[in-house]
């Protein structure tokens, strides 16, 4: 079956829990995915990241789940996740070891793919640490893709080599369904801003069946990570998380939640389950956004993006990367609208309100780190 026509949606353990994972956490998170409404909103995958196995393979070369963390084994956890109508994901690595030092799949690709299929895995995140220098990265991704495509089960392949070795040039042909082409996210505004800016030129390589992954979301973490490499004191403000989510949605990134979904604030739920924003990310055509730098006064502050949607509408996003108020505008002619006879009806995707019909252009002033997300419908005047 063809997987990942649209950017995958789910949750991953890494950002909040790091190595502090176990089967109760996974089951409780699957329960929370359903009870909170995330599943109904479209989130589907529950993914265990690094640190789930023992430090050594068994005598037959198989990976062994850590019996302290997963006393019932991975298959039982996968079965539980499936019983909730969700899909189950796990993690391995191109190299001899994972980034946290557990066994990697180098030279064990086909054995591991078979094991994952037996366990009922639906998604594999595949990292890039401890790759032997003599080995060719693209070949190793091709090898695991081939193993997964022939293991007897549909397993979504999530590549994670951080943009190294010019990922975008070969990743689509490798068979991967999504790929990281940037560095790890931190729970900070600076990190969100840096990733978004660094990935804008990469978007042209992203598309159905192989999506550019801007990294897992930090929405709702508020500095509460147990993960020393991700945590930043205090994290971000709700507005910054809203802008982060809007950027990722607009840029067609997979949306893999990174906060503790068992304990979300109302604001976090409103962000993650904003159906209007999710619809922009999950639009059938997954069109690359066109982006411009449009600011009133201070250079390099307000970014504008727009992209065509399946039904003839356009998604538009204004993002203020500056720390203070700043304005920006869009001239509709730049999107293709004739200069007379037509206008755009604008709908605010965070306020959930119709702003009326505008002709010629739309101008917005945004507070520092804020965004404006709109859906525009073409109207004849
Ligand atoms: C790398 C990846 C992260 C996470 C860790 C786990 O840094 O980029 O997303 O999977 O490894 O060790």
The pLDDT assigned to 233 comes to 84
The pLDDT assigned to 310 comes to 98
Nearest by Cα to 364 from 380, 346, 381, 378: 346
The pLDDT assigned to 316 comes to 97
| Closest residue to atom 8 of ligand 1, CA basis | 184
**Cα-Cα-Cα-Cα dihedral sign, residues 280, 254, 39, 17:** negative
The pLDDT assigned to 58 comes to 98
DSSP conformation letters of 67-113? TTT-TTHHHHHHHHHHHTT-EEEEEEESSSB-TTSSB--TT-HHHHH
Residue 236 contacts residue 189 (beta carbons within 8 Å): yes
Give the position, in ligand 1's atom list, of the atom nearest the Cα of 99.
12
**How many angstroms is it from 378 CA to the middle of ligand 1?**
43
* pLDDT, tens only, 176-232: 999 999 999 999 999 999 999 999 889 999 999 999 999 999 999 999 988 888 888
Cβ–ligand 1 distance for 109 under 6 Å, the answer: no
Rounded Cα distance between 160 and 229, Å, is 17
Cβ–ligand 1 distance for 213 under 6 Å, the answer: no
Rounded to 10 deg, the angle between the 238-250 and 189-199 helix axes is 20
User: Which of the residues in the chain have pLDDT under 70?
Assistant: 299
The pLDDT assigned to 292 comes to 84
**How many angstroms is it from 129 CA to the middle of ligand 1?**
9
Q: Give the strands of the sheet with 314-320, arranged side by side.
A: 290-293, 302-308, 314-320, 371-380, 342-348, 353-358
Cβ–ligand 1 distance for 49 under 6 Å, the answer: yes
Number of alpha carbons in the 13 Å side-chain half-sphere of residue 151: 28
The pLDDT assigned to 298 comes to 72
Chain mean pLDDT for the chain: 96
Q: What are the catalytic residues?
A: 127, 184
* pLDDT, tens only, 90-112: 999 999 999 999 999 999 999 99
**How many angstroms is it from 127 CA to the middle of ligand 1?**
7
The pLDDT assigned to 67 comes to 98
| pTM to 2 decimal places | 0.97
**How many angstroms is it from 292 CA to the middle of ligand 1?**
31
The pLDDT assigned to 259 comes to 98
Cβ–ligand 1 distance for 94 under 6 Å, the answer: no
Cβ–ligand 1 distance for 126 under 6 Å, the answer: no
Cβ–ligand 1 distance for 99 under 6 Å, the answer: yes
Residue labelled with tokens 């963390």: 69
Residue 94 contacts residue 106 (beta carbons within 8 Å): yes
């Amino acid at each position: 079956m063809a997987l990942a026509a649209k950017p995958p949606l789910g949750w991953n353990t890494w950002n909040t829990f790091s190595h502090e994972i176990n089967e109760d956490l996974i089951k409780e998170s699957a329960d929370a995915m359903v009870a909170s409404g995330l599943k109904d909103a479209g989130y589907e995958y529950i993914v265990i990241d690094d640190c789930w196995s023992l430090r050594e393979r068994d005598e037959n070369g198989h990976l062994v789940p850590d019996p302290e963390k997963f006393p019932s084994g991975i298959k039982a956890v996968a079965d539980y996740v499936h019983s909730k109508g969700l899909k189950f994901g796990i993690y391995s690595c191109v190299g001899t070891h994972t980034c946290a030092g557990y066994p990697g799949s180098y030279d064990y690709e086909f054995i591991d793919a078979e094991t994952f299929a037996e366990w009922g895995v639906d998604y594999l995140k595949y990292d890039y640490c401890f790759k032997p220098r003599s080995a060719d990265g693209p070949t190793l991704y091709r090898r695991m893709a081939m193993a997964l495509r022939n293991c007897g089960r549909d397993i979504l392949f999530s590549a994670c080599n951080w943009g190294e070795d010019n990922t975008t040039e070969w990743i689509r042909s490798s068979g991967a369904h999504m790929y990281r082409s940037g560095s790890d996210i931190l729970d900070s505004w600076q990190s969100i801003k840096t990733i978004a800016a660094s990935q804008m030129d990469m978007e042209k390589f992203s598309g159905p069946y192989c999506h550019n992954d801007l990294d897992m979301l930090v929405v709702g973490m508020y500095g509460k990570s147990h993960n020393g490499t991700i945590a930043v004191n205090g994290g971000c403000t709700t507005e910054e998380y809203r802008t982060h989510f809007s950027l990722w949605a607009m840029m067609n990134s997979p949306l893999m939640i990174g906060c503790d979904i068992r304990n979300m604030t109302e604001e976090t739920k409103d962000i993650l389950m904003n159906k209007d924003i999710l619809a922009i990310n999950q639009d059938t055509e997954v069109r690359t956004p066109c982006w411009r730098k449009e600011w009133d006064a201070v250079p390099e502050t307000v970014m504008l993006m727009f992209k065509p949607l399946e039904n003839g509408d356009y998604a538009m996003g204004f993002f203020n990367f500056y720390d203070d108020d700043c304005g920006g505008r869009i001239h509709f002619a730049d999107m293709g609208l004739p200069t007379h006879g037509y206008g755009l009806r604008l709908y605010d995707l965070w306020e959930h309100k119709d702003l009326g019909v505008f002709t010629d252009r739309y101008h917005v002033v945004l507070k520092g780190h804020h965004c404006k997300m709109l859906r525009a419908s073409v109207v004849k005047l």
